[in-house]
Amino acid sequence: MYPFAQSALSLLLVCLFCYCQPQGAASPSTPAPISISLKDTLRLDPSDKTYAATKAMVNRRRQALHTAYAAGRITLDSVRQAFTSVLLDDIIPYWYGTDWSFEGHTTVPRSGQIACGYFVSTTLLDAGVRLNRYRLAQQAPETEARMLNLGKDVLKLESHTPYMAAAQLEKQLQDGLCFIGMGSSHVGYLLKRDGQLTAIHSNYVMPSEVVAQPIMESVYVGFGTFYLADITWNDQLLKYWLKGGEVPTAKKKHPSG
């Protein structure tokens, strides 16, 4: 066979071999988690106002919403959107960067330290939810969830791997903010928005401060048991907030960091 013919035949065989391979086949591998920016979906910087001025503004807004709701001019869905915004956009941004410590219970953002339970109870209190922040913060994670759920069943989830934990939480939760208790030692908020899960908590590992971070980059997925209580979708809690009524809390003491 002529050299040219041999080369042509070889090229044809190579092309046929490549064409006959399964299309889209790839070597099996596990993709690494992708870090996402939160700046486009979550307010991370506080207002230029003082914290006291913002709390006063939030209280005026709550009173106006109560008047409008009592008169039938707005629905509870409008209230839930407003309350979620108060927490995420008005109150919590002041707390990012506040140092964590196991016994921290400061009332001043970025001054002193705050434990995970006190971060939740203090931000709820400052958003206008009348509760005993000490009693709530001193409970075990499951008990805190039951307190905030005000008699409704607490959603309990269990998982064995970080990916399973994130997948279960994403599947079970509606868009909105909820309280999450983990195991017997950690609590925080969990936000589901646009299909993404964000952990908002006083973080006990580096950088050991109040943070918002994608769930796969947080300590949340290191736990195997989760207790969840609605915040955005908690109608009873919203009505307590609107009316300025005191949320009942128990006295059972169990520190959580």
Question: Whole-prediction pTM value?
Answer: 0.83
C-alpha pair distances (Å), 226 with each of 171, 205, 255: 14, 19, 17
Summarised one tens digit per residue, pLDDT across range 189-202 is 999 998 899 999 99
Q: What is the pLDDT of residue 151?
A: 81
- The number of residues in the chain equals 257
Q: What is the DSSP string of 74-87?
A: S-HHHHHHHHHHII
Residue 19 clears pLDDT 70, i.e. is over it: no
Give residues with Cβ within 8 angstroms of 6, minimum separation 6: none
* Alpha carbons within 13 A on the beta-carbon side of 188: 31
Supply the pLDDT for residue 254: 45
The least confident of 7-21, 102-116, 136-150, 230-244 is 7-21
- Strand, coil or helix: 210: strand
**pLDDT one-digit tens code per residue, 32-91:** 333 446 767 799 999 999 999 999 999 999 999 999 999 999 999 999 999 999 999 999
Q: Break the chain into its structural domains and give their ranges.
A: 51-243
